[in-house]
Each structure stands twice: as structure tokens, then as C-alpha cells.
């Protein structure tokens, strides 16, 4: 951290620093001022390399999506389209496990990242080779939604309820949920991603959809 070592700023350096900052302190910590500090510069200097904060956020989505594409490119093909898709999606998922803030951010972007488009493009190609019509593939992409990229949006966390103390008064209003949770011993509470989405559950939902799609496949 000497004053002499001044690597010049660049869009790429800014984005790398933003990803590192989010990894370490969460997305909330990614502020123009904090980001600049991390780079040993002033906040205003960033604006020479980046249009505005939204641009930074779009940029780090792109960085993560490219990371996914790199990983996915190294995935071996399976015996059929379904196995290959499954392996790719689970590989993509592993990237999100390294960037826990990413699912929430991906969900808020309005313009789609080019790397994400490329990811979907290769998925379309895979399904095409697997014998699907374009129309079916289009439906499939919607059906998969964010699952195609390796994460899913959960709106409540059954695991959290199992461990946390539920007030008796509330529990009385949730007889079915409490009944279910009390019966389920969840052994793997650690490997959760985003909104309670552990590996086994993710794979269950994914296979349900992939199997359903496979059944619809034209011969």
C-alpha cells in the first residue's frame, strides 16, 4: 500500500474490485466511495471508467456470468441432453455459491447481460440437438427461469422455521406447516444458497422440470 504503487484504474479493475468487495462485505458495501477507497482512488475518479453506479452493477453481473460460462465450457457432455443440461446447471450453481449476493442482483437487472445471453444460447443449442422444437425450448426456458442458471427464488425458508423458535400463538395458526417441520429432520443446514435452497432440494426441483421436459420431447 505504498503511494508509489499506482496501477492505473480501468473499467476492469473497478469491476474486479466491486466483485471482491461484494464477496467480502455484501452488496450493500458496494458504494462508489467505498469502491474507490478500495482502489486507492477518489470516488469521482471512477466516473472516468464507468458511467454510473448502475453500470457497475451491470458490469459485475457480466463478470459473474462470464465466470459461469468459463466453468460451464469445461463440463463434459453427459449421455443425453438432460444429463448434459443438468451438469451445466449444477456447475453454474457452484459459481453462485462463491458469490452469494449475485442471485439477488441478477434478479434486479433489467437489461440482460451478454454473457447470460450466451449461456442461454448454448442451452438452446443443447436442447435443439436433443430433439426439441424451438417452440418447446422457448417454453422450457420460461419454465426453468433462474433455475437454468443455477439458483431458485424461495419465499420462505422451511429450514429456518425448523431451527428458530416459533411463538406458540403463531404456531397455532400454522398447524400444517408446524406439523410438516416437526416431522422433517433436516441434516444439511449448511449448504444453502440465497433463500434456503440447499443442494438436494435444488436438484429435486431441477430434475422434476428436466424430467417433465424430457417427457414432452418430440421424437
Instruction: Verify binding: residue 11, DNA, rule CB under 7 A.
Output: no
Closest contact distance (angstroms) between CB of 146 and a copy of itself is: 4
Length of the chain: 219
Contact predicate 19/56, CB 8 Å: no
Q: Is 172 exposed, middle or buried (0-12, 13-18, 19+ CB in 10 A)?
A: exposed
Mark the segment that binds a copy of itself (CB under 8 A) among 8-16, 31-39, 74-82, 134-142. 134-142
Contact predicate 184/160, CB 8 Å: no
Q: Is 195 exposed, middle or buried (0-12, 13-18, 19+ CB in 10 A)?
A: middle
The correct pick among 30, 63, 148, 193 for binding a copy of itself (CB under 8 A) is: 148
Q: Which residue has the cell 433462474?
A: 146
The correct pick among 23, 38, 53, 141 for binding DNA (CB under 7 A) is: 53
Size of residue set near DNA by CB under 7 A: 19
Instruction: Verify binding: residue 52, DNA, rule CB under 7 A.
Output: yes
Residue 33 interaction partner, one of a copy of itself, DNA, none, beta carbon < 5-8 Å per kind: DNA
Mark the segment that binds a copy of itself (CB under 8 A) among 14-22, 52-60, 74-82, 132-140. 132-140
Helix ranges (DSSP H) in the chain: 11-25, 32-38, 43-46, 53-73, 81-98, 102-108, 114-129, 134-144, 158-163, 168-173, 175-183, 199-216
Instruction: Verify binding: residue 9, DNA, rule CB under 7 A.
Output: yes
Within 8 A by CB and 6+ apart from 57, the residues are 30, 105, 108, 109
Interacting residue ranges for a copy of itself, rule: CB under 8 A: 104, 106-108, 112, 114, 116-118, 120-122, 124-125, 128, 134-135, 137-139, 141-146, 148-149, 152-158, 160-161, 170, 173-177, 179-180, 183-184, 195-197, 201-202, 204-205, 208-209, 211-213
Interacting residue ranges for DNA, rule: CB under 7 A: 8-9, 30-34, 36, 41-45, 47-49, 52-54
Amino acid at each position: 500500500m505504498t503511494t508509489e504503487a499506482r496501477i492505473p484504474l480501468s473499467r476492469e479493475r473497478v469491476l474486479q474490485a466491486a466483485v471482491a468487495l461484494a464477496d467480502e462485505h455484501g452488496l450493500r458495501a458496494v458504494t462508489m466511495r467505498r469502491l474507490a477507497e478500495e482502489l486507492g482512488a477518489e470516488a469521482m475518479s471512477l466516473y472516468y471508467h464507468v458511467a454510473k453506479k448502475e453500470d457497475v452493477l451491470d458490469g459485475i453481473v457480466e463478470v459473474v456470468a462470464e465466470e459461469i460460462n468459463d466453468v460451464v465450457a469445461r463440463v463434459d457432455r453427459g449421455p443425453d441432453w438432460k444429463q448434459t443440461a443438468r451438469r451445466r446447471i449444477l456447475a453454474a450453481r457452484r459459481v453462485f455459491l462463491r458469490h452469494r449476493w449475485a442471485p439477488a442482483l441478477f434478479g434486479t437487472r433489467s437489461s440482460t447481460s451478454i454473457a447470460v445471453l450466451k449461456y442461454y444460447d448454448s442451452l438452446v443449442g443443447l436442447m435443439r440437438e436433443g430433439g426439441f422444437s424451438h417452440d418447446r425450448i422457448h417454453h422450457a426456458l420460461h419454465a426453468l427461469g433462474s433455475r437454468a442458471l443455477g439458483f431458485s427464488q424461495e419465499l420462505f425458508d422451511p429450514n429456518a422455521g425448523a431451527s428458530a423458535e416459533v411463538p406458540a400463538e403463531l404456531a397455532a395458526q400454522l398447524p400444517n406447516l408446524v406439523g410438516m417441520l416437526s416431522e422433517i429432520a433436516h441434516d444439511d443446514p449448511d449448504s444453502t444458497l440465497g433463500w434456503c435452497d440447499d443442494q438436494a432440494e435444488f436438484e429435486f426441483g431441477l430434475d422434476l422440470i428436466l424430467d417433465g421436459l424430457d417427457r414432452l420431447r418430440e421424437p
